[in-house]
A = this chain, B = another copy of it.
Amino acid sequence: MVEMKTDEIYQYLERIANLLRTDTRRSMVEKGLQPVQLEALHYLSHCNRYSDTPAGVADYLGLTKGTVSQTLGLMENIGMIEKLPDYKDRRVVHLQLTARGRKVIAETIPPKSLQLALDQMPGVEQDSILDVLDKLLRAMQVANQLRTFGVCKTCRHHRIEMDGRHRCALTGEFLENVDIDKICREHEVPV
Q: Which B residues are in CB contact (< 8 Å) with A121?
A: 135, 139
Given contacts A140-B19, A149-B15, contact A125 B118 (CB under 8 A): no
Complex-state Cα separation, A129 to B6, whole angstroms: 10
Q: Which B residues are in CB contact (< 8 Å) with A14?
A: 20, 39, 42
Q: Is the interface of A mostly helix, strand, loop or mixed?
A: helix
Q: Is A16 an interface residue (CB 8 A)?
A: yes
Q: Is A22 an interface residue (CB 8 A)?
A: yes
Identical copies of this chain, number: 2
| CB–CB A136/B16 < 8 A | yes
Q: Contact residue range for chain A?
A: 35 or more
Question: Taking the nearest CB of chain B, how far is it from the CB of A187, in angstroms?
Answer: 12
Give A residues with C-beta under 8 Å from B: 2-3, 5-23, 25, 39, 42, 60-63, 109-111, 113-121, 123, 125-130, 132-137, 139-144, 146, 149
